[in-house]
């Protein structure tokens, strides 16, 4: 199969576009709020630095060496007699599971983008009822916006690596950064900014329970798009002679920076008007619009910019969630790109409707598993189990299965890691990452208690 190649900047933007997503702007701030701020942020940063970054390098390496879809890459690189490693490549399907609810949230964002023009809610009560009403009662409207999101993503992916994925990322990523840094500049002028800084960076250890710890580790995988073959699939189109380690560093850095900026912006606005940070998933859909209404027309403008940034972040990540399976269907089944996109989109569109119904009043009971809404089950299964499992397999494969000399040849040279950094990375990929991930999964399954 002929694989198109990204340009260097195109690859960086596409990988950063994948990493920077709803996880950064919607999820990270609300998790920071729920888990009490500073200590959570610190655990998250340490995990990103020691585990996330190392696994990203490993995942990029598999992609760059395999130059194929995830299943074929594992198969190609595994030594004779260990070809069953190809099954690890099915981590590419995690993206489709994530897309079932990710696309629904992008749909909510579209809905907000439209409804902001009708004015912002002036009390938390009103804001809550708008959001709750959408989720519990407006099933058709949600399906409409979910369908719109599926269609946009499908259109971009069907255009392919160069004229679809690279092109859209080169436009949306700089726009997203411009908006967020613009909002940050404004937030900086607010009194709430200092409080936001303190909330995010002064660790209050007493608030850090084992759940917060686990969620921080899990989230560091989700936010970097690791453990499901998105980065691997993009890296299959890595331009020649591009430094894997430098690119992984830039992407990790951008992703972390944007999460911190989003948090600072949201909390500055919140503290400016003495609102509570611990709002959960409704933080950007309920608290933020209410707070922004205090700014009058300027607030509407801010809300518009904010939700636009959120939509951009969501779309660029969504395409990377779909691309691995599309690539797989093209490579292994000889499907045309268009056909593969249609098949895959239909599948997650349908399950996504199930996720929507699982939050609705009328159908909630039917679409739940073990008393939990399908939406939550899908999110939990990916974020907490499948991505860490994918990360574990990547770490083991690169740390133990690939020939050591080959890994060293690619990652320990003047263009990549210097000797000492290579040693630290290797230690992390062979020991720290797998052990931490195993602990995490056992803990989540209730087999051990931290
Ligand atoms: N990293 C994306 C985010 O932060 C989500 C994602 C996960 C995208 C896995 C691709 C793969 O929202």
Index of the ligand 1 atom closest to the CA of residue 255: 4
CA–centroid distance, residue 56 to ligand 1 (Å):
13
| pLDDT for residue 2 | 55
| pLDDT for residue 379 | 87
Index of the ligand 1 atom closest to the CA of residue 226: 9
For residue 182, which of 17, 297, 305 has the smallest C-alpha distance? 305
CA–centroid distance, residue 223 to ligand 1 (Å):
5
Output the CA angle 215-217-223, nearest 5 degrees. Answer: 90
The tens-digit pLDDT sequence of the chain (450 residues) is 556 789 999 999 999 999 999 999 999 998 998 888 899 999 999 999 989 999 999 999 999 999 999 999 999 999 999 999 999 999 999 999 999 999 999 999 999 999 999 889 988 889 889 999 999 999 999 999 999 999 999 999 999 998 999 999 999 999 999 999 999 999 999 999 999 999 999 988 887 787 788 888 888 889 999 999 999 999 999 998 899 999 999 999 999 999 999 999 999 988 888 888 777 777 889 888 988 898 889 999 999 999 999 999 999 999 999 999 999 999 999 999 999 999 999 999 999 999 999 999 888 888 888 888 999 899 888 887 899 999 999 999 999 999 999 999 999 999 999 989 999 999 999 999 999 998 888 887 777 766
Index of the ligand 1 atom closest to the CA of residue 317: 8
Q: Which residues pair with 373 in a beta bridge?
A: 368
Pocket test for ligand 1, best of 15, 17, 21, 234 (most atoms within 8 A of CB): 21
Which own/partner contact pairs does 261-264 have at CB distance under 8 Å and 24+ positions apart?
261/180, 261/181, 261/184, 262/24, 262/25, 262/28, 262/29, 262/180, 263/28, 263/29, 263/32, 263/41, 263/196, 263/200, 264/184, 264/187, 264/193, 264/196, 264/197, 264/200
CA–centroid distance, residue 363 to ligand 1 (Å):
28
Ligand 1 pocket by Cβ (under 6 Å): 18-19, 21-24, 95, 98, 222-223, 225, 228, 230, 317, 320-321
For residue 176, which of 283, 19, 40 has the smallest C-alpha distance? 19
Q: Decide: 26 and 108 in contact? Cβ < 8 Å.
A: no
- Going by alpha carbons, the residue nearest to atom 6 of ligand 1 is 225
Q: Which two tokens stand for residue 24?
A: 């950064």
CA–centroid distance, residue 317 to ligand 1 (Å):
6
Index of the ligand 1 atom closest to the CA of residue 224: 1
Q: Which two tokens stand for residue 215?
A: 């969620």
Domains of the chain: 8-444 (1.10.4160)
CA–centroid distance, residue 101 to ligand 1 (Å):
12
Pocket test for ligand 1, best of 60, 149, 223 (most atoms within 8 A of CB): 223
| pLDDT for residue 282 | 79
Give the predicted TM-score (pTM) of the model.
0.93
Angstrom distance (rounded) from CA 411 to CA 277:
42
| pLDDT for residue 281 | 76
CA–centroid distance, residue 322 to ligand 1 (Å):
11
CA–centroid distance, residue 233 to ligand 1 (Å):
14
Pocket test for ligand 1, best of 18, 262, 388 (most atoms within 8 A of CB): 18
CA–centroid distance, residue 226 to ligand 1 (Å):
8
Index of the ligand 1 atom closest to the CA of residue 20: 4
- Going by alpha carbons, the residue nearest to atom 10 of ligand 1 is 225
- Going by alpha carbons, the residue nearest to atom 11 of ligand 1 is 225
In the numeric block, the tokens 């399954």 are attached to 445
| pLDDT for residue 443 | 81
Angstrom distance (rounded) from CA 252 to CA 125:
38
CA–centroid distance, residue 235 to ligand 1 (Å):
16
| pLDDT for residue 450 | 63
């Amino acid at each position: 199969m002929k694989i198109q190649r990204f340009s260097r900047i195109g690859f960086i933007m596409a990988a950063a576009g994948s990493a920077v997503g709803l996880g950064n702007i919607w999820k990270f701030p609300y998790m920071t709020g729920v888990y009490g701020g500073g200590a959570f942020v610190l655990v998250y940063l340490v995990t990103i630095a020691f585990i996330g970054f190392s696994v990203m390098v490993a995942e990029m390496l598999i992609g760059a060496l395999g130059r194929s879809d995830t299943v074929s890459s594992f198969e190609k690189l595994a030594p004779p007699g260990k070809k069953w490693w190809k099954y690890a490549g099915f981590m590419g399907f995690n993206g489709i599971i994530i897309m079932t609810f990710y696309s629904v949230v992008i749909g909510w964002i579209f809905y907000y983008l439209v409804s902001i023009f009708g004015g912002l809610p002036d009390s938390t009560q009103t804001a809550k009822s708008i959001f709750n009403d959408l989720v519990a009662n407006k099933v058709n409207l949600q399906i409409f916006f979910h369908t719109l999101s599926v269609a946009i993503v499908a259109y971009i992916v069907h255009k392919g690596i160069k004229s679809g994925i690279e092109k859209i990322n080169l436009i949306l990523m700089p726009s997203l950064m411009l908006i967020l840094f613009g909002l940050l500049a404004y937030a900086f002028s607010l009194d709430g900014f200092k409080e936001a800084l303190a909330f995010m960076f002064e660790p209050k250890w007493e608030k850090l329970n084992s759940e917060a710890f686990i969620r921080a580790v899990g989230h560091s995988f989700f936010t970097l798009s690791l453990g499901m073959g998105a980065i691997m699939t993009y890296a299959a189109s890595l331009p020649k002679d591009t430094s894997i380690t430098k690119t992984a560093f830039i992407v990790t850095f951008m992703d972390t920076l944007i999460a911190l900026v989003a948090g600072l912006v949201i909390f500055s606005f919140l503290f400016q008007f003495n609102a509570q940070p611990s709002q959960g998933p409704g933080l950007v859909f309920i608290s933020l619009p209410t707070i922004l209404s205090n700014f009058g027309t300027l607030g509407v403008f801010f809300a518009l910019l904010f939700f636009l940034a959120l939509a951009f972040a969501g779309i660029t990540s969504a395409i990377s969630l779909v691309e691995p399976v599309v690539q797989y269907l093209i490579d292994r089944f000889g499907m045309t790109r268009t056909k593969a996109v249609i098949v895959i989109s239909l599948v997650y569109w349908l399950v996504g409707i199930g996720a929507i119904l699982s939050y609705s009043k009328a159908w909630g009971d039917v679409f739940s598993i073990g008393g939990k809404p399908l939406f939550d089950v899908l999110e939990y299964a990916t974020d907490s189990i499948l991505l860490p499992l994918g990360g574990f397999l990547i770490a083991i494969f690169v740390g133990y299965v690939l020939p050591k000399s080959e890994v060293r040849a690619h990652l320990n040279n003047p263009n990549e890691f210097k000797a000492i950094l290579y040693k630290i990375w290797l230690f992390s990929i062979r020991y720290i990452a797998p052990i931490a991930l195993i602990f995490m999964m056992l803990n989540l399954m209730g087999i051990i208690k931290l």
